[in-house]
Structure 1
Amino acid sequence: MVATEFAGGKNESYDNAGVDLEIGMDIEPQLPPVAFVPPEQPDTYGSLVSVMPTSDPPASFQNYKTESCWSTTLQVSVPFFIAGIGTIGAGLMLGMVSQWEVFKEVSELFILVPALLGLKGNLDMCLASRLSTQVNIGNMVSAKDIWSQILGNIALVQVQSIIAAFIVAIFAVCIGIVMNGSFEWKHGLLLAAAGIITATTSCFVLDFVMIAVIMISHKLRVNPDNIATPLAASFGDVVSITVLANVAKFLFKYHDSLLYVTPGILVSYLLFLPLWIYIVIKQKHTKHVLTTGWTPVLSALFISGLGGLVLGSVATLFPGFVVFQPIINGIGGNLVSVQASRISTFLHKTVHLGELPSYATKLIISPIAVLFHGTPQAKIARILLFMAIPGHLIFAYVADYIFNGQSTVSVIFMVTYLFVSVLQVAILLYCAHILVHFVWRRKIDPDSSTIPYLTALGDLLGSGILALAFLFLRSIHRDYTPRVSSAGKNFSDSSLQWGTYEFGSDMPPKGANKKGGRHRKGRKNMASLNGGGGEDEVSLMAAADLELEEDFQVQHEPKRKKSQAIPAARHKFEPEENAFSIAVQVFIPFLVAGLGMVGAGLVLDIVQHWEVFRVVSEVFILVPALLGLKGNLEMTLASRLSTQANLGYMDTPKQQWSLIVGNLSLIQCQAIVVGFLASMAAMIMGWIPEGKFDIDHGLLLCASSLVTASLASFVLGIVMIAVIIASRKFNINPDNVATPIAASMGDLITLTLLAWISSLLFEAIETQPWLAPLIIGFCLLLTPIWAWLCRQNKHTKEVLSSGWTPVVLAMGIAVFQPVINGVGGNLVAVQASRISTSLHRDSKIGTLPSYASNICLSPFAVFGAKGGHARTARILLAMVIPGHLIFSYTISYLQAGHTSLTPIFVVVYLLAALIQVSLLLYMSHVMVHWMWSKRIDPDNSAIPYLTAFGDLVGTGLLAIAFQFLYVIGDRDSDRIGLSKGGCIVQGMPRSGLELPIVDHNTNTHPKTSFIASCVFSDGPVL
């Protein structure tokens, strides 16, 4: 019990646990004042602690003032409903501008919409939360402090908005290239210019509104945490959509006649960027955020980009979806930002950064305690949850009425909509509680890092569950059916007619496309997955791989000093990772890697119809070998660097740069050599069955292979290094996360590069025949340079001479294998990397530790022993079933492979997957220990063999599974992807692998097409 003196002089007793208080009361627990961090403590995380007073806060802030339930509800509800008006306007505006010509011609604009709207949550809401905290702790009292905060924060947001908008535009362009198979440079410049203008303008306006609201709230003694963040969203969406649509329309109108406009806009913004950066650096309140606040912003942008893919995919499938999508996303983001901001302020005022209050000693607690009763913030969570129901009810009815000119919502639609919207808010509030306390414990300021993740998650979650709600309504034949085609209601006195979608010359004629879909006008729709651009439009949620850096970790372990020797039996003294920590660290990258595999399969399903793949069929032979480089080079690199990081050899910048330069040079050298050998093998395999050789096609294959291998290896190598360094910084074991993340983007990047580069070179065969030989010569000339750099580096000198055998042999196996079995390869790479790190740490190479004296153990000992690697093996095995279920049902939902899932099929497939992973995990134990005993570094040699063996075992087990399904009569009526001679690899050349598992005359089993598209495989589609 702690005695606390209140302003009135009365002493009250307070239970510091906070949880024992009656949470349903109208007051929140009062905590005693704390002494803030003195200035001599360095602030390496860019938190607000560095700018807090060096003594206790002012007297008016020494006690955490209580708010009544009525006061909190009133303060939150008013801006909440004002914000709802903004979301309604955003939905109506999006439904209106989606019919403009620029949105039909430049369909990538739909990808920009959620990301630019997300900037409101990533930048403006962070600004509001940051300034609210500063006001509440007394750092914005004098005019000098106020102007310093205003100037620094506005400059910071401008810097972040310019860079973020530019990255989002590049992301949208890349997705457009993959989906449309072509690149229009004028459209790319239009996307970048429109995105930057929209982001900077809307952020600039909203920032001034936020600052005014916060200052007025503080002056009127209203808690700005309750008001600022909802008002940041009140008109943010409608302003952003309006600015984006009008700017894009203007630039589209003149992008043919005034070619200099869009480049001039981009150059001017880039010239202003250093000025904003200079202003931010000069302000003590924001200079730390400039260097540390990028990860949540950029990560949230990519999450919002996934939401953009959902929006672009289902907007044409479900009429009226675009009206409700901004509402459900906006309300969820508004409410969770209030809760996150309040929790952050509570922590800033009551405990030191890095310390948790007594009620939050456990981060993961029950949702009941977070949302209803059990924490000091549960009361606010209840208020926000109950506020969501009438809010959504009102906003949905108003938006529907305005959109249609009459009410068209049914009872079943409203019940379904309310259910998914409340579910979204509940999930976000629970995530907010965990995330804010988690980052606070990691000494990261929640004001600058949590809201971007939460709002981006809300966008993705809201779009996803709303799409599921519309899908459910369609399955029960109760679709939402807007009547905009017959309403004929004038929206204004101008030429705009809401019911008929007339917007002057930009709108389609009456009667055209009344179902709400976008006109294609001969262009491929960005969400169409069939090569001919037919009517089946499906979601492409996994086409963009999300590279999500791991910012968080649960354990803290002091770094070992450079001079500190490695103990003889270090494993006995180090804290052992618990099962939950391993599962979390492995499962998240594992799911991300699975989405990358799904995206790779979908991309291959698209590009196989491109002309270069039809004419130069040998390109398909390159696919498995180039995808195999992910396992042969990047995963080996990840395993090698993970071991170095765990041994403490990547703790100083000098060590990091030495390892980075050496290893990047090594994989460039290996990628060029292996890419050249793979192209030679593809040419030979294409020449043998056809009996002829085309020199132009051979040069195209060689150049495409070299450029793809080099660029993909360079990009993934950089990503691997960043992940491992970040993991080390946040005390995450890189063995758990590096290798799956290497797989997450590897396939997608490699396939995209191969398809794009080969297509460009194919178009240049007639007009620029010198281009392919020039590329080949340039790459080969660079090879000695990379080899020299590797030889000069002590970390890679030995690998350069001894690491070729497994890489080249694995490439040879991959050339003759039509699929890459990604899931098994990802999991066994984690286990092999962990065992190798353990051996490096506990013994000298050539000598096995005492706990691994026997190499060939029984399977029971490998999987059933207590602790150690057996526990990790059990965790990895437990991930197989949920992982494969998620990936397979994702593919089924996306209609990739053109098949259906039956219960017997799922059971047989999961059994085959379990057998495959079990065999690989057992082999990894034996092979890694055997190589260690033979003085061979497993980091350089084990993973290529394991992944190549996984390819062979996975394909064999898959063939046996389908043969069994055929025998018992589990057949599919779909007959896509079959040749006259049997079930042949779809899209593969005539030399592709035939699977003798079907009766090719009558009974077919093309489920092979489904499963090989991306679940068992990273690569070609069977």
Structure 2
Amino acid sequence: MSPPAATLVADDGYELVQHTPALERSAKGKEREKENEEQADETLDDSDDEVEQLLTSTGHAVLPRVDATEDETVDGGRRTAGWGGTGGEAQRRSGSRVLNVLFGGMTPKQRRVFLREMMVETLPVLLFALAGAILAGELLQRLQSWRVFIRIEELFILVPILLNLKGNIEMNLAARFSTSANIGELDLRLTRRSLVLGNLALLQVQALLVSFVSGLLAFILGMASRKGVHHALQHPIYKPGTAPGATAGGADVTEALRGGYFEALLVLCVSMLAAGFSSGICGSFTCSTVIMCRRFRVNPDNIATPLAAALGDIVTLVILGVLSSLFILFMGTIVSSLVFLALVGAIAANIFFVFRNAYVQELLTMGWGPLFAAMAISSGTGVILETYVNRYPGFALLGQVLTAICGASGSIFVSRISTALHTGRREHYLFSAAMLTVVTYPILLAFFGFVWVTGQADVAAGFFPAYAVATAVQLVVTMLVAQQGSLLLWKLDYDPDVYALPLLSACMDVTGQLLLVAAFTFSGTKTLEAPADDSQSGETVAEGVVAVAEALRRRWTG
């Protein structure tokens, strides 16, 4: 026989269920059960924070199965009191069922609380994510012309790989810390201090290791695609205006002037240092943001993950550019070797600190698979961008903003679902997804209007409907993957805070780019290389798919 459950409703409208052990059928047991019920009734009058902390801190909360609440029944009766008769009763019940499906069983008070969260908390954060995506794109465009990025092409290959991996680990930190705040782990000073220090040490380990892999992969890809020296900045002894010589076999003799130990070490050191400094700054900011949200009774699920992603990209790009310009001055010396040895020592020291922290030690071996799987998936995004960025006007800017904002909205949804699963707080999935879509969709449409008015995208008249459809499809797919993916991971005993966000962001980057390509293709937008023919739209799409597949094959096979 299952133990009895006491369902409590906090002042913020969220239901919480707490199981209590079954009592023996004795007079004393019945008396204690009656006292517990009276105590639960008294608890309902307390503040919402006290109720929520009381229930969720026990660790035995589960998701309730509630189809409708008393408030909804009363509210529905008030709205339909004037109908009268049997027909009015049937209409009232039908309307109540429709509202239950639409609002997920939420009471009017719950809907008001949720709408306030969306407008006051989520909307400003999404606007900040939009500004961050635009600023990151501008920084990336300016870095192309820097001397060090022309001299060492692997640094430019490094940028998207490093930003993807670092963004994922910082979003994971934000999601984990938001869950810790919502279940009350940050309310105790000693626990809060251990969690902050442990998560920052873990973030350093993850950042240094993934940046090492990113730098190594970027150098290998750069060597595989290298075609000798063709710029004065790429090697000091190369003279501008001199055609690269070729041997009898057709190989470019200037290839020997590039690559080698010192160039590889520079790429690794710059990648690891930029990731380490950026993670320290962004990790501290994320932890502080979540703690302040808890203090001022703001839901960190709506704020932390988009802020972490947007701020991390900007900070990483700035630090990467500065360190690259600094390290190239010492290229060929022992400085890079000493720095690399110091970074290896930093990894070992942080691993030691993480193992001594009981709150995060198990996370050291978790979540690596999704990170590197996301890196492999994101390479497809880079290939699509490389294939179409010079073919369609404004593709780079529109694609970056579309994937960034949809990813931010999806990360909010994943964080809310994960918190609900950990705490037993019921998340109304359909209504949450619908509201996030309603808040995000106008932002993307308004941004396209801004791009079109300022002349940054010379597109056909039919592109706006195609772009609107592509954006709507991208948002629906994002919400669907976020919900079903998180629930599936939870069912398989994987924490969505650790496993869901990397895979979601990588997959949505690919789908966003492909949907944007489809919008350009079927709208009849003229390409920058040759005019497009509406009758050959199907052939254009097929050729694009073949080009992407061929580019992927060349990148991974060399």
TM-score category of the 2 structures, normalised to the smaller one: 0.5 to 0.7
1:728 matched to 2:294: yes
How far the C-alpha of 1:922 sits from its partner, in A, is 0.7
1:651 matched to 2:206: no
Q: How does 1:461-540 map to 2 (within 5 A)?
A: none
Q: In the alignment, which of 92, 100, 125 is matched to residue 589 of structure 1?
A: 125
Q: Does the 8 A contact of 1:928 with 1:942 survive in 2?
A: yes
SS class of match (1:926): helix
Q: Which structure 2 segments of 5+ residues have no match?
A: 1-46, 70-105, 228-254, 386-399, 531-540, 548-558
Task: Please give the alpha-carbon distance, in whole angstroms, between the structure 2 residues aligned to 1:959 and 1:637.
Answer: 33
How far the C-alpha of 1:596 sits from its partner, in A, is 0.5
Task: Please give the alpha-carbon distance, in whole angstroms, between the structure 2 residues aligned to 1:822 and 1:771.
Answer: 37
Q: Does the 8 A contact of 1:831 with 1:921 survive in 2?
A: yes
- Taking structure 1 as reference, are residues 562 and 823 closer, same or farther at Cα in structure 2, changes over 3 Å only? same
Q: In the alignment, which of 201, 207, 219 is matched to residue 671 of structure 1?
A: 207
SS class of match (1:690): coil
Task: Please give the alpha-carbon distance, in whole angstroms, between the structure 1 residues aligned to 2:201 and 2:55.
Answer: 25
How far the C-alpha of 1:931 sits from its partner, in A, is 1.1
How far the C-alpha of 1:564 sits from its partner, in A, is 5.0
- Taking structure 1 as reference, are residues 563 and 605 closer, same or farther at Cα in structure 2, changes over 3 Å only? closer
Opposite residue 601 of structure 1, the aligned amino acid is: G
Q: How does 1:520-669 map to 2 (within 5 A)?
A: 557-558=49-50, 560=53, 565-566=58-59, 568-569=61-62, 576=110, 577-669=113-205
SS class of match (2:184): coil
Q: How does 1:304-453 map to 2 (within 5 A)?
A: none
Q: Which structure 1 segments of 5+ residues have no match?
A: 1-554, 844-850, 852-866, 980-993, 1001-1022
Give the aligned partner of residue 905 of structure 1.
Answer: 463
How far the C-alpha of 1:598 sits from its partner, in A, is 0.5
Task: Please give the alpha-carbon distance, in whole angstroms, between the structure 2 residues aligned to 1:570 and 1:877.
Answer: 25
SS class of match (2:267): helix
- TM-score, length of structure 1 as denominator length: 0.37
Opposite residue 826 of structure 1, the aligned amino acid is: A
How far the C-alpha of 1:803 sits from its partner, in A, is 2.0
Write the deviation string for residues 737-792 of structure 1: whole angstroms up to 9, x where unpaired.
111111221211111111221122123326xx222222221111110111111111
Give the aligned partner of residue 796 of structure 1.
Answer: 360
Q: Does the 8 A contact of 1:639 with 1:739 survive in 2?
A: yes
How far the C-alpha of 1:706 sits from its partner, in A, is 0.4
Task: Please give the alpha-carbon distance, in whole angstroms, between the structure 1 residues aligned to 2:497 and 2:56.
Answer: 24
Larger Rg: 1
Task: Please give the alpha-carbon distance, in whole angstroms, between the structure 1 residues aligned to 2:321 and 2:224.
Answer: 24
- Taking structure 1 as reference, are residues 797 and 770 closer, same or farther at Cα in structure 2, changes over 3 Å only? same
Q: Does the 8 A contact of 1:630 with 1:742 survive in 2?
A: no
Give the aligned partner of residue 875 of structure 1.
Answer: 435
Q: In the alignment, which of 691, 696, 703 is matched to residue 269 of structure 2?
A: 703
Opposite residue 837 of structure 1, the aligned amino acid is: T
Q: In the alignment, which of 828, 838, 850 is matched to residue 420 of structure 2?
A: 838
Task: Please give the alpha-carbon distance, in whole angstroms, between the structure 2 residues aligned to 1:894 and 1:614.
Answer: 30
Q: In the alignment, which of 365, 368, 371 is matched to residue 807 of structure 1?
A: 371
Task: Please give the alpha-carbon distance, in whole angstroms, between the structure 2 residues aligned to 1:564 and 1:807.
Answer: 31
How far the C-alpha of 1:881 sits from its partner, in A, is 2.3
Deviation beyond 6 Å, 4+ runs, structure 1? 570-575
**Once structures 1 and 2 are overlaid, which stretch shifts more, 638-647 or 927-936?**
927-936
SS class of match (1:609): coil
Give the aligned partner of residue 279 of structure 2.
Answer: 713
| RMSD across aligned positions (CA) | 3.0
Opposite residue 215 of structure 2, the aligned amino acid is: S
Give the aligned partner of residue 685 of structure 1.
Answer: 221
Give the aligned partner of residue 322 of structure 2.
Answer: 756
Q: Does the 8 A contact of 2:148 with 2:328 survive in 1?
A: yes
Task: Please give the alpha-carbon distance, in whole angstroms, between the structure 2 residues aligned to 1:688 and 1:822.
Answer: 30
| Number of aligned residues | 398
How far the C-alpha of 1:811 sits from its partner, in A, is 2.4
Opposite residue 971 of structure 1, the aligned amino acid is: K
Task: Please give the alpha-carbon distance, in whole angstroms, between the structure 1 residues aligned to 2:339 and 2:450.
Answer: 39
Q: Does the 8 A contact of 1:880 with 1:914 survive in 2?
A: no
Q: Does the 8 A contact of 1:663 with 1:796 survive in 2?
A: yes
SS class of match (1:817): helix
Task: Please give the alpha-carbon distance, in whole angstroms, between the structure 1 residues aligned to 2:437 and 2:55.
Answer: 37
How far the C-alpha of 1:956 sits from its partner, in A, is 1.5
Larger helix share, 1 or 2: 2
- Taking structure 1 as reference, are residues 669 and 995 closer, same or farther at Cα in structure 2, changes over 3 Å only? farther
- Taking structure 1 as reference, are residues 697 and 995 closer, same or farther at Cα in structure 2, changes over 3 Å only? farther
Give the aligned partner of residue 774 of structure 1.
Answer: 338
Opposite residue 754 of structure 1, the aligned amino acid is: L
Task: Please give the alpha-carbon distance, in whole angstroms, between the structure 1 residues aligned to 2:144 and 2:56.
Answer: 55
Task: Please give the alpha-carbon distance, in whole angstroms, between the structure 2 residues aligned to 1:775 and 1:894.
Answer: 45
1:694 matched to 2:260: yes
Write the deviation string for residues 549-591 of structure 1: whole angstroms up to 9, x where unpaired.
xxxxxx9744726995256357779984422323331111111
Q: In the alignment, which of 824, 829, 832 is matched to residue 406 of structure 2?
A: 824
Opposite residue 884 of structure 1, the aligned amino acid is: L
Opposite residue 410 of structure 2, the aligned amino acid is: V
Q: Does the 8 A contact of 2:198 with 2:360 survive in 1?
A: yes
Write the deviation string for residues 346-389 of structure 1: whole angstroms up to 9, x where unpaired.
xxxxxxxxxxxxxxxxxxxxxxxxxxxxxxxxxxxxxxxxxxxx
1:963 matched to 2:521: yes
Q: Does the 8 A contact of 1:645 with 1:728 survive in 2?
A: yes
Task: Please give the alpha-carbon distance, in whole angstroms, between the structure 2 residues aligned to 1:873 and 1:775.
Answer: 47
How far the C-alpha of 1:815 sits from its partner, in A, is 4.1
Asked which structure has the greater RCO (Cα within 8 Å, sep 6+), the reply is 2
Opposite residue 301 of structure 2, the aligned amino acid is: D
- Taking structure 1 as reference, are residues 790 and 729 closer, same or farther at Cα in structure 2, changes over 3 Å only? same
- Taking structure 1 as reference, are residues 886 and 701 closer, same or farther at Cα in structure 2, changes over 3 Å only? farther
Opposite residue 265 of structure 2, the aligned amino acid is: L
Q: In the alignment, which of 444, 447, 452 is matched to residue 884 of structure 1?
A: 444
Q: Does the 8 A contact of 1:739 with 1:826 survive in 2?
A: yes
Opposite residue 788 of structure 1, the aligned amino acid is: F
Write the deviation string for residues 643-679 of structure 1: whole angstroms up to 9, x where unpaired.
1100011112212111111111111001111000011
- Taking structure 1 as reference, are residues 997 and 837 closer, same or farther at Cα in structure 2, changes over 3 Å only? same
Opposite residue 414 of structure 2, the aligned amino acid is: A
State the percentage of identical aligned residues.
30
How far the C-alpha of 1:902 sits from its partner, in A, is 5.6
Q: Does the 8 A contact of 1:679 with 1:701 survive in 2?
A: yes
Task: Please give the alpha-carbon distance, in whole angstroms, between the structure 1 residues aligned to 2:346 and 2:430.
Answer: 44
- Taking structure 1 as reference, are residues 909 and 649 closer, same or farther at Cα in structure 2, changes over 3 Å only? same
- Taking structure 1 as reference, are residues 837 and 903 closer, same or farther at Cα in structure 2, changes over 3 Å only? farther
Task: Please give the alpha-carbon distance, in whole angstroms, between the structure 1 residues aligned to 2:452 and 2:60.
Answer: 51
1:747 matched to 2:313: yes
How far the C-alpha of 1:726 sits from its partner, in A, is 0.9
Q: Does the 8 A contact of 1:579 with 1:871 survive in 2?
A: no
Q: Does the 8 A contact of 1:624 with 1:817 survive in 2?
A: no
SS class of match (2:493): coil
Task: Please give the alpha-carbon distance, in whole angstroms, between the structure 2 residues aligned to 1:810 and 1:964.
Answer: 29
Give the aligned partner of residue 479 of structure 2.
Answer: 921
Q: Does the 8 A contact of 1:561 with 1:648 survive in 2?
A: no
Task: Please give the alpha-carbon distance, in whole angstroms, between the structure 2 residues aligned to 1:770 and 1:815.
Answer: 33
How far the C-alpha of 1:891 sits from its partner, in A, is 5.0
SS class of match (2:314): helix
- TM-score, length of structure 2 as denominator length: 0.66
- Taking structure 1 as reference, are residues 788 and 651 closer, same or farther at Cα in structure 2, changes over 3 Å only? same
Opposite residue 58 of structure 2, the aligned amino acid is: A
Task: Please give the alpha-carbon distance, in whole angstroms, between the structure 2 residues aligned to 1:886 and 1:719.
Answer: 29
- Taking structure 1 as reference, are residues 997 and 963 closer, same or farther at Cα in structure 2, changes over 3 Å only? farther
How far the C-alpha of 1:727 sits from its partner, in A, is 0.8
Task: Please give the alpha-carbon distance, in whole angstroms, between the structure 1 residues aligned to 2:278 and 2:454.
Answer: 26
